Amino acid sequence: MPEPRDPLPPMPQHPPLPRAMRWLLQAFAVLCLVMGAIGVIVPGLPTTVFILMAGWAAARSSPRLHAWLWRHRL
């Protein structure tokens, strides 16, 4: 019988960011989230792209959020 594998690959490690860069990424994440929410209502404005960019920026600005997103089963 084969051994069960870990369902997730190891989490990538990023070097810590300076505080100013973290704040800029968090502001960018909020801006993208707002644009994505507006995109739900306004035809022609993409929603998915903005939500994905918001998730990337938020995860890059917070190691704790990145770890939670990486290990979340859904």
Of 22 and 7, the structure prediction assigns the larger pLDDT to: 22
Does residue 12 form part of some domain? no
Least confident segment among 22-31, 43-52, 55-64: 55-64
Report, as an integer, the average pLDDT of 17-34.
93
pLDDT digits (tens, 9 = 90+) for 41-54: 999 999 999 999 99
Query: 62 falls in which pLDDT band (50, 70, 90)?
Result: confident
- Split into its structural domains, the chain has a count of 1
Domain annotation covers residue 10: no
Residue 62 within any structural domain of the chain: yes
Residue 23 resides in a domain: yes
- Reading the block at residue 14, the tokens are 């990023």
Q: How far, in Å, are 3, 15, 46, 53 from residue 38 at the CA level? A: 47, 33, 9, 15
pLDDT at 35 over 70: yes
In a domain, 2, yes or no: no
User: Does residue 9 fall inside a structural domain?
Assistant: no
Q: Per the domain annotation, does 30 fall within a domain?
A: yes
Q: Which residues span the domain enclosing 32?
A: 19-71
